Every structure is written in structure tokens, then in C-alpha cells.
Amino acid sequence: MQTSALPDLAHTDAKPVHWLATATAMAAVVAGAGLLQPDAATATASASEHRVTTQHGSAPAAKAPDPARVTFPLDCGSAGHTVAESAPGDLDGDGGPETVAVVRCAAGSGTPPSGIYVVTQPSGAAPRVVATLVDPAQKLNVTDFTVRDGRVSATLLGYSSADVPRCCPDELESASWQWKGNAFIRSAGPTGSTARGV
């Protein structure tokens, strides 16, 4: 057997008492970590409460209304309606979020016209529609829908005449709505035809 040219190190000549001391120290560290660390639910709630307090003072953040719980002013008969898209946003600047929903009848085929509705939910009350930005009676389809910085934007597809097939809208318009004073004011963007030259 070859001897080492290096001096003996303390950890290479461990005695049972050293192993016992190391095991006891490790057990104390693990137990201490378990006692000092909050459970996951408490840690998450505390972080959320801190984030809300930092951003909005001491009041908890309000949740945006759920459009699935709203009765929309849309007559779909027995077919019912579907919420095609929705997005939250503080549209009136009061610190509480509203929900904007694009809703249409749940047709089995074809492209039924859409409506755009603003939904609010006062504290302790059921959510309700407070504004209709696009009425399905206008026979428009909605694409490129966004809610950003207090503004609702969408591209509206329509038909130049009753002879145009309902599958193929031939007119488009960019539109946006913003709350001013006590109403949503619409501003129109470019309009045009969706028809392509041959």
C-alpha cells in the first residue's frame, strides 16, 4: 500500500462522533427550514396581497366581470349565444375593470352577426351589460378585437348589399371606442372593400 505524501486531513480520519455531530447538524437545518418556511398557500396569498397593496393601496384588486354570467340583449331563439372573445380593461378610469365581449348567436353553420358589449359588475351585484358598441342588427362581423389603454378596437366586416353572400363580407372598417364624459365615443379608422382585384 502506498502512503500519501500529503499530511493527514481531519476529515479523512473521521470517528463515529464526527458522523453523529454532522447528522445532528443536518437534521437541525432541515427541521429549522421546515418550521421557518410558510406553506405554499400562505406564501402565494401574501405575495399577491403585497403586489396589490403596492399597486393600488390597501384595497384588493377587483376581478373583471365574467361574461358567461351575463344575459346579453341578443335574440338567438333556441340556439343560444356564444361569447366569441372577451377582454378586461378599466375603460372609465375608476380603477375597477370592465369586460368587453364579442357575442353572437351559436349558429351551427354560417357566420352570424356579432355584437360588442361592455359588461360591468357593481360590488355585490350580478354582472350586467352597460353599453352596446356594435348591435347585431347592424349585421357586422368582428375581427381584430383588442382592449388596451382604455380603448376598445375592432375591425368590422359588413356587406354592401343584400345580394352579397353572408359568407363573404365585402366591406371593412376599423373602429375604436373610448369613454369620454358619460358615453363611449366611436372613432372610425380607414374603411374599404375586402374585394381583391383580378
What's the pLDDT score for residue 24? 64
pLDDT beyond 50 at 125:
yes
pLDDT tens column, 154-168: 999 999 998 988 788
pTM of the model: 0.66
**Distance (Å) of CA 147 to CA 88, 186, 189:** 7, 14, 16
DSSP-derived letter for residue 167 is: T
What is residue 72's DSSP assignment?
Answer: -
Long-range interactions of 80-84: CB distance < 8 A, separation 24+: 80/105, 80/106, 81/105, 81/106, 82/106, 84/114, 84/142
- The reported pLDDT for the residue numbered 195 is 53
Which pLDDT belongs to residue 21? Answer: 59
Q: What is the identity of the amino acid at 55?
A: Q
Q: How far is CA 60 from CA 51, 67, 78, in A?
A: 10, 21, 40
Q: Report the chain's mean pLDDT, rounded to a whole number.
A: 77
User: Given a cut of 80, is residue 151 above it in pLDDT?
Assistant: yes
Q: In the numeric block, which cell numbers belong to residue 74?
A: 341578443
Q: pLDDT tens across 61-97, in order?
A: 678 999 999 999 988 888 889 999 999 999 998 889 9
Which has more confidence, 26 or 47? Answer: 26
| Longest CA span, the chain | 102
Query: What integer pLDDT is reported at residue 41 of this predicted model?
Result: 42
Of the spans 87-96, 104-113, 184-193, which averages the highest pLDDT? 87-96
